[in-house]
Amino acid sequence: MSEYVKVAEIFGQHVFNDTVMQERLPKKIYRELKNTIEEGKELDLATADVIAHEMKEWAIEQGATHYTHWFQPLTGVTAEKHDSFISAPLESGKVLMSFSGKELIKGEPDASSFPSGGLRATFEARGYTAWDCTSPAFVRHDAGGATLCIPTAFCSYTGEALDQKTPLLRSMEAINTQALRLLRLFGNTTSKRVTPSVGPEQEYFLIDKEKYKKRKDLIFTGRTLFGAMPPKGQEMDDHYFGKIRSRVASYMKEVNQELWKLGVSAKTQHNEAAPAQHELAPIYAKVNVAVDHNQIIMQTLKSVANRHGMHCLLHEKPFAGVNGSGKHNNWSLTTDDGINLLEPGKTPHENVQFLLILTCILKAVDDYAELLRESAADVGNDHRLGANEAPPAIISVFLGDQLEDVIDQLVNTGMATHSIKSGTLETGVKTLPNLNKDTSDRNRTSPFAFTGNKFEFRMVGSSDSVAGPNVVLNTIVADAFREACDEMEKAEDLNLCIHDLIKKFATEHCRIIFNGNGYSQEWVEEAARRGLPNITNMVDAIPYLKDEKSIALFERFGVFTRAELESRVEIKYETYSKVINIEARSMIDIATKQIIPAVVKYTTVLANSINAVRQASDADVSVQVDLLNQTSSLLRESKTALEELKKLTEEAAAMEAGQEQAQFYNRKVMKAMEALRRPVDELEMLVDKDMWPMPSYGDLLFEV
């Protein structure tokens, strides 16, 4: 019988959270820290010394011997350098365990080897990590023991952001400032802070670890570069929300427990659409905490899988032919006194504050659609966006019947006089209760959907940090709020100004609203008629990060400087090129060393068998001959495609890093990779399974 776990007792037990701080810190120190967290006041070194001492004592009680400034450089993963708590040895030969406020507040990792996009020269090594006290420290237990992890921002010696966290915190300040301006104009004098809250859903695949070790493509790239579809895929829809297999259920149980101990509110788990695909969703948290938690979730999914003899794949498209994985970013705005600014109420047509906020968001998404699309651009995401399994690459907003009707009224008549009621769902079964329906259905094809009291940005890739998309969301909405507040603050008649702004924004930006089927070709054509951008790949999306409109936006709020944006553009081009280069070289390596030798062996055995039969009898060997000819023809096609891929990969690698190189990889090398995969996947269906050099899709997807 499984061990019973009391969630309330273990939740947050490895986190230096508010409860722990209240228990351990002197009241004055606790108040100082809370003021820093809630009001952004600077923390003095004497206060930091007291906090550091108590944090160290608590961490040691948790078994910690080391601490680390845990940060998120522009590599897409987290980074850390560990230092022990021991100080210089005493004359007695003993050591003291110490941790100062200075060590808590500031770290100094080497910045030279992290991506900087030209912000730092290789010989310029100094970088700083700065404690983000708004995201709680935690103790992580793993094979290396227990480590106190302190969430931090990461900046260069000259002050530029070299990480995901710094611009995120800047964007939070931007939207807080502008949202408070708006609330004050509506008469709210009590709310002191407005914070974006996020609940990122995490999709992932689980496969057997031993089979994973036999797939060099998965090891090198995180996705299968070759692989024929098995007789069954996901067409029966029997995996989606199906009974969770015992092995996976045991894994999920441990994942939940590990996350709960670290204060991550893992709530929902289920089987996803594709075989071997699953999802985990947490409860909402402040966006910077949610970003940290999502990194913890991804790391935990991987580490726990290893202990269960499995491997967790976070790539957006690890298997062709079945759904890939995304990370839905559920975004809302809440005040420190508990008001959700995206709550429409029962009669949204009468909720003037909500209508202004809603139309500001429509304006933001429409004005900066290209930038929002770029925020979700990822090499792996190129394989899934617009592929009838994820939102299309065209940015649009789903509002649902009720809100779309309100917007239509505003556009057509200048005012909204009614709201569609939700109604009742009658099941037709007497023993079942009638249910109160929501005001609208959901639309899974929409990239940016309103779902009751939040917006769900569905384009984000499963392996990506959610920091980037939320930096953009926070900043573009802050800009729309700024424009509205500028008009309202100088208006003689505030109510009339608000009314005119709502109508203006609704009328000018209603083109971004689409409640229909985003997968249809008709929508692609309609979107083009509306003038909406359709950016189909990462390489074409990157330039929008540094166009003059984007630079002006980010500099206006101090979220990015021009230099920081230009550096990120360079990093993104380099990242794209490096990823495709690794994939192409992996295909070349696998085809050369594994696939072609296996096919040659098979054809040799088959040819010898044909000759042996012919020498022994007059039996008909036409089937064997046809099979040999077919296999040999595909082998020749594979060899020709392999040589072309080699040539193009060498040509691409010799180019100077940047946009032109990334475009070459996108336009030329990717097509050559597809040309090699086609005959190889056909060969997999012909060659004796015992001779094929790697586990098949069927082995990977259905044997967990």
pLDDT over 50 (residue 469) = yes
| Nearest CA-CA partner of 54 in 104, 11, 95 | 104
Find out whether 155 and 161 touch, Cβ atoms under 8 Å.
yes
Please indicate whether residue 5 or residue 183 has the higher confidence score (pLDDT): 183
Residues above pLDDT 70, as percent of the chain: 94
Task: Please state which of the ranges 84-93, 421-430, 437-446 shows the lowest mean pLDDT.
Answer: 421-430
What pLDDT is recorded for position 5?
77
Contacts (Cβ under 8 Å, ≥6 apart) of 572: 377, 538, 542, 545
pLDDT over 70 (residue 90) = no
| pLDDT tens-digit series, residues 305-328 | 999 999 999 999 999 999 999 999
**For residue 86, what is the DSSP state?**
B
pLDDT over 50 (residue 572) = yes
Rounded CA separation 344/347 (Å):
7
pLDDT over 70 (residue 268) = yes
- Strand 448-450 relative to strand 397-398: parallel, antiparallel, unpaired? parallel
Rounded CA separation 471/461 (Å):
16
pLDDT band at 1 (very low <50, low <70, confident <90, very high): very low
Mean pLDDT of 333-361: 91
| Nearest CA-CA partner of 131 in 161, 171, 104 | 104
Rounded CA separation 539/377 (Å):
8
| pLDDT tens-digit series, residues 135-172 | 999 999 998 899 999 999 998 887 888 899 999 999 99
Rounded CA separation 549/589 (Å):
44
Rounded CA separation 233/242 (Å):
15
Rounded CA separation 341/178 (Å):
13
Give the per-residue SS3 of 441-494. CCCCCCCEEECCCCEEECCCECCCCCHHHHHHHHHHHHHHHHHHHHHHHCCCCH
What pLDDT is recorded for position 121?
62
Long-range contacts of 434-441 (CB under 8 A, 24+ apart): 438/400, 439/400, 439/401, 439/402, 439/403, 440/399, 440/400, 440/401, 440/402, 440/403, 441/400, 441/401
Task: Please state which of the ranges 139-143, 231-235, 518-522, 562-566 shows the lowest mean pLDDT.
Answer: 231-235
Find out whether 315 and 223 touch, Cβ atoms under 8 Å.
yes
Mean pLDDT of 655-664: 96
Residues above pLDDT 90, as percent of the chain: 75
DSSP, collapsed to helix, strand or coil, labels residue 276 as coil
Residue in this structure with the two tokens 């700065």, named with its chain if needed: 130
Residue in this structure with the two tokens 């290396």, named with its chain if needed: 144
Give the per-residue SS3 of 116-148. CCCCCCCCCCEEEEEECCCCCCEEEEECCEEEE
pLDDT band at 401 (very low <50, low <70, confident <90, very high): confident
pLDDT over 80 (residue 88) = no
Helix (H) or strand (E) holding 394: none
Rounded CA separation 500/496 (Å):
6
Rounded CA separation 453/450 (Å):
7
Find out whether 126 and 111 touch, Cβ atoms under 8 Å.
yes
Residue in this structure with the two tokens 């939940």, named with its chain if needed: 256
What pLDDT is recorded for position 95?
66
The angle, 0 to 180 degrees and rounded to 10, between the axes of the packed helices 352-367 and 165-185 is 140
| pLDDT tens-digit series, residues 454-464 | 999 999 999 99
Listed ranges 62-76, 402-416, 546-560; the one with the highest mean pLDDT: 546-560
What pLDDT is recorded for position 421?
74
What pLDDT is recorded for position 361?
97
Through-space distance between the first and last CA atoms of the chain, rounded to whole angstroms: 22
DSSP, collapsed to helix, strand or coil, labels residue 333 as strand
CA-to-CA dists, residue 702 to 148, 205, 272, angstroms: 39, 11, 14
> Quick one: tokens of 35?
């003021």
Find out whether 453 and 342 touch, Cβ atoms under 8 Å.
yes
Rounded CA separation 21/31 (Å):
10
Rounded CA separation 146/151 (Å):
16
Q: What is the pTM of this model?
A: 0.94
Q: Please give the radius of gyration of the chain, using alpha carbons only, rounded to the nearest integer.
A: 28
Which residues are paired to 140 by β-bridges?
147
What pLDDT is recorded for position 611?
93
Rounded CA separation 178/612 (Å):
83
Mean pLDDT of 66-70: 95
Sheet with 397-398: list strands edge to edge.
285-286, 194-200, 329-335, 455-457, 448-450, 397-398
| pLDDT tens-digit series, residues 472-505 | 999 999 999 999 999 999 999 999 999 999 999 9
- Strand 64-70 relative to strand 145-156: parallel, antiparallel, unpaired? parallel
CA-to-CA dists, residue 104 to 57, 89, 137, 447, 624, angstroms: 13, 21, 10, 40, 72
> DSSP letters along 356-387, please?
HHHHHHHHHHHHTHHHHHHHT--TGGGGTTTS
Residue in this structure with the two tokens 């991506």, named with its chain if needed: 115
Q: What is the mean pLDDT of the chain?
A: 91
What pLDDT is recorded for position 436?
57
DSSP, collapsed to helix, strand or coil, labels residue 264 as coil
How many distinct helices (H) and strands (E) make up the chain?
24, 18
Find out whether 457 and 331 touch, Cβ atoms under 8 Å.
yes
pLDDT over 90 (residue 39) = no
Contacts (Cβ under 8 Å, ≥6 apart) of 490: none
Rounded CA separation 504/500 (Å):
6
What pLDDT is recorded for position 435?
52
